Structure formats: C-alpha cells, structure tokens
C-alpha cells in the first residue's frame, strides 16, 4: 500500500486525475454498480482493494461523475490510511460523520482531489465568492460543494478567520463541514435567505467585533436542498468588493437583458484564452483587444470607461 505522503505526491503530480491515478497505482478494482442508497464502499484483502461506486442515473460511459470521484477519493482514503470502510454510507453521511477516523479519511480525500497549491492559485482574493468556487470546481472536475469543502478546510492557510459549508434538506441543516465554526439551524437559515436575496448572491454582515460574515449560495444538483458557504474575515477584507462582483455589476449596467451582445462580447474576449501564449501580461492583451475591436465596438456601451474596465476584468481571468 502507499503511504499518505506518497499518495499526495502522486495526486499533485497527476492533478486533476489524482483519484484515478491512485486507483491504478494501488491496482484497485473499481466497479460501478447500483448500490441503492449507498454511495460507495471498499473491501481490502491483503494488498488488494475492491472499490464499489453507486451507478449514476445517467452514467457517462467510461467516466466518473463528480459525486463518484469524491466517493472514489474517500474510499481511497480508507485504503491508504488503513481505516475500515463503512458499508451503506451515503455521501452526506460521509461528510457529516463525527468519527475521528472518518474525518481523517475525508481530509485525505479532499487533498487528493484538490491539492493546496491548486486551491491557492485560484483563491487569489478575498472574500471567496461562488464564481471562484465554480471555476476551481471545473478545473478539478469536482462539484462546487467539494470545492467549497476544500476551501473551508484550508481556511487558515487562505487567511480566512473561519469558514463552513452548510447543506440543507428543505429548511433544516442536513450537515455542515468546518474545522471549528458551527452554525445553529436558525442562524444558518437566515444567512441562506439573505444570500439568496443579496446582489450577486453575496451577503455581508458586520459582527461589531472587527469581523464580517460573508455568505453565498453554491450551485446544488439535489432537489429540495441548498448549500451555503459561510466565511468570517477581518471587516476591511470581508467588505471589499471582489473582481467577480464588480464584473457582474458592470454586466448589469453595460449588457442588461442583451443575450446577443453579451454572447458577442464573450466571444471576442474568449479568443484571448487561446492567445495567452502570445502576450506576457494582461496589459498587452488589453492593448491588442482594443486595437482589433475598437471599430467594432464603436457606438456601444463597451466603448466607455466602464466598458474598458469590464473588458480588463474579463481578460484578467486568463492571466
């Protein structure tokens, strides 16, 4: 079997294919079967392991879903740490367990899926808003909830005072994940309501002690459920407007209810994702953009100070 240290070296080197690479390295027999309410389990005999994952409703041929990849990483954690797997566990039960061994397994699974260096390369400003979690999740081929869990685990390393991920079933907390931050049901429900009503889905609340609570909703695929990401930061940082929020605010002014123009602008800016090798900085890319598109955008709202700010914000995501 691999040591924890070796497993993490492989996961970092093979990112975003850490779980798949580790399963091959361990010669684990990974099978997808209908498991009813169980998301997965593993059986270890000697130096060989069999890992069973629940079949998805629309199972992609030859691939794992994001839910299956999280479960695979979790079961690999059991194998690597030598902790017996629990038969019949759902994903929610894995995440909400108070058992210390299960917490160790979950922590290793999160590191396998999202190495710290990757998270730090995406979380470059605070607070952490849902758009950043979405981008990180896409890169790592995990769910946005999994990305939020990893950020919450790295709260101290990312200069958050604290963070928590809370999933609801209807109006009640189903589970919450945090090192030390525990929210009461009423408190969490109020934050969820406020985040849903807030501009751009980000709600801030000054605590009067020099800190600010920032709450945002995370995309969730499950019916009648919602997920909330809560972070506590120094007030000055927590109240700062992120680039993602500023970008959305500018879109509302420059491209209101104009899907055609928005699509056209996204197309013009999107080409620079493939041209990043041509320009050493966003400044060069910005100059090239306006050289090519000044005439095309003449007479539009984009040909303004706010429009130029918006274009730069969009280009910055590639640099």
pLDDT in tens, 73-100: 999 999 999 999 988 888 888 888 889 9
Q: Quick one: residue 144, left, alpha or beta (phi over 0 = left, psi -120 to 50 = alpha)?
A: alpha
C-alpha–C-alpha distance, residues 128 and 151, integer Å: 9
| Mean pLDDT confidence for 21-40 | 95
The CATH number covering residue 200 comes to 3.30.450
Task: Print the domain residue range for 145.
Answer: 117-238
Strand partners, 213: 205, 232
pLDDT per position as a tens digit, 211-255:
999 999 987 666 568 999 999 999 999 999 999 999 999 999 998
Tell me which of 217, 238, 259 is where a domain ends: 238
What percent of the chain has a predicted confidence (pLDDT) above 90?
Answer: 74
Q: Say whether both 176 and 77 belong to one domain.
A: no
Q: What CA–CA distance (Å, rounded) separates 304 from 298?
A: 9
Quote the pLDDT of residue 74.
97
Same domain, 266 and 161: no
* Last residue within a domain, chosen from 238, 269, 287: 238
148 and 230 housed in the same domain: yes
Q: Tell me, yes or no, whether 129 and 194 share the same domain.
A: yes
170 and 154 housed in the same domain: yes
| 296 and 224 share one domain | no
User: Given a cut of 90, is residue 196 above it in pLDDT?
Assistant: yes
Q: Is the same domain home to 16 and 31? A: yes
* Last residue of one domain, picked from the residues 90, 113, 136: 113
Quick one: 106 and 191 in the same domain? no
Number of domains observed in the structure of the chain: 3
DSSP assigned state of 59: P
Does the pTM of the predicted model rise above 0.75? Answer: yes
């Amino acid at each position: 079997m691999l040591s924890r240290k070796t497993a993490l070296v492989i996961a970092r080197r093979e990112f975003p294919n850490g779980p798949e690479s580790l399963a091959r390295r361990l010669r684990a027999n990974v099978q997808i079967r209908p498991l009813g309410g169980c998301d997965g389990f593993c059986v270890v005999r000697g130096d060989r392991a069999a890992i069973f994952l629940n079949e998805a409703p629309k199972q992609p041929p030859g691939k794992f879903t994001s839910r299956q990849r999280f479960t695979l990483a979790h079961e690999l954690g059991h194998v690597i740490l030598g902790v017996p797997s629990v038969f019949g566990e759902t994903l929610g039960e894995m995440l909400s367990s108070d058992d210390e061994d299960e917490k160790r397994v979950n922590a290793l699974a999160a590191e396998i899926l999202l190495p710290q260096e990757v998270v730090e390369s995406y979380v470059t400003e605070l607070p952490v808003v849902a758009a950043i979690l979405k981008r990180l999740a896409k890169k790592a081929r995990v769910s946005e909830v999994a990305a939020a869990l990893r950020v919450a685990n790295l709260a101290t390393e990312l200069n958050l005072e604290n963070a928590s991920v809370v999933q609801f079933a209807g109006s009640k907390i189903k589970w919450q994940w945090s090192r030390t931050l525990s929210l009461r049901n009423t408190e969490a429900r109020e934050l969820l309501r406020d985040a849903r009503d807030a501009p751009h889905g980000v709600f801030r609340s000054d605590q009067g002690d020099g800190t600010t609570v920032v709450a945002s909703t995370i995309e969730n695929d499950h019916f009648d459920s919602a997920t909330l990401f809560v972070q506590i930061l120094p007030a000055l940082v927590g109240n700062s407007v992120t680039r993602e929020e500023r970008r959305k605010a500018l879109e509302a002014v420059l491209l209101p209810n104009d899907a055609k123009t928005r699509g056209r602008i996204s197309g013009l800016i999107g080409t620079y994702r493939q041209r990043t090798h041509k320009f050493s900085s966003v400044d060069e890319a910005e100059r090239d953009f306006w050289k090519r598109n000044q005439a095309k955008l003449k007479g539009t709202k984009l040909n303004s100070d706010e429009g130029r700010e918006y274009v730069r914000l969009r280009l910055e995501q590639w640099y």
